[in-house]
A and B are shown apart, each in its own frame.
Chain A
Amino acid sequence: MSRQGTRLDPKKVNSELFTLTYGALVSQLMKDYENVEEVNKQLERMGYNIGIRLIEDFLARTSSGRCYDFRDTAEKIQLGFRTFLGITPTISNWNPSGDEFSLIIDNNPLTEFVELPDHCLNLKYSNILTGVIRGACEMVQMEVSSWFVQDQLKGDNVTELRVKFVKRLEDAIPAGED
């Protein structure tokens, strides 16, 4: 009997464990909070905490430079998805003034093993992503807001994440630094 035939692939194991752990977390939150809105908010908050740290990793790995307009930013966010989640969302649905776009996400790894029960229809299962984007952008002096417009978990054809530019954060530089 050979045990060598099916070596585990560490990348895949890590990825699946992440997905499952995230699922366990969401279900724990559903138990802890009565209100689904609270769960969405908590997920966003956790994402924010991750985002403010993750941006360091992103900058170090991709050696990205400055963004000159929001279209640049959109591409950087897309690159972030590729770097960390291994997926490349499509950028689309720009609004006329160019400060709002959508990411169309296919094969969201977070939802790989997920089906939402009927009483969870208001749950934004992947809401952590909106927090990550907000946190990461805030660390590079940009305030954005983002939210889910469509979600495959809820029977929509695609998962659509909307990102909107709010303002540049001018005051975030500590005193005494140029």
Chain B
Amino acid sequence: MSVSKGLVDDVLFEFLHAELVSYVLNSSKDGKKGDVTSLEYIGFSSGYRIIERLTKEWPRFKDELETMKFICTDFWSSIYKKQIDNLRTNHQGVYVLHENSFRFLRKISSGRQYLEAAPKFVAFTCGLIRGALANLGLDCTVTAEIQQMPACKFHIQVQKN
């Protein structure tokens, strides 16, 4: 790590994410409030690019499961300060990532009151995972399920073609 190169503090990423959420939701022009598509897309582009930088020194992952493990451990803990708590799969292309305390939900009151606001805070991350996996050669759809904040489940469905 060279001294001259600036390293951005973590907290800025959190603030930037909050601004992204608020911008995307307030700017939906055609009256579609709550449309998180472009939020997901911003996540996708970031994920697609970052994973390429992170994995360039790594040996090729030997299979799908190993790729997922990388996402759940090294990748996840670098960004979200902890590993995914549990990874489940049906071995047919469906993976469920259990996250018990998601970084972007941790600071929101955990009651049911704000539950309907929760999807905006996971859309970026859904995109991030989809982008990262896309660059590693896996076409997926990623959705999130939140029942009790700050826990969150990410469902990854790998598209077979």
Contacts and interface: CB of A to CB of B under 8 A. Distances in A.
A49 interface: yes
Interface residues of chain B: helix, strand, loop or mixed (majority): helix
Size band of the interface chain A makes with B: 35 or more
A55 to B, nearest CB: 11
A70 interface: no
Interface string B81-105: 1000000000000000000000000
B9 A86 contact: yes
Interface residues of B, number: 39
B78 A6 contact: no
Contacts of A18: 8, 12-13, 16
A131 B75 CA distance: 31
B6 A21 contact: no
A17 B15 contact: no
B20 A25 contact: yes
A9 B1 contact: yes
A3 interface: yes
A50 B15 CA distance: 6
Contacts of A107: 4-6
Contacts, number: 112
A54 B41 contact: no
By CB atoms of chain A within 10 A, which of B6, B7, B41, B46 has the most?
Answer: B6
Given A15-B8, A49-B19, A20 B74 contact: no
Contact of A6 (B8, B29, B58): B58
A28 B37 CA distance: 12
B7 A109 contact: yes
A91 interface: no
A114 to B, nearest CB: 12
Contacts of B75: 8
Interface string A27-42: 1100010000000001
Interface string B118-160: 0000000000000000000000000000000000000000000
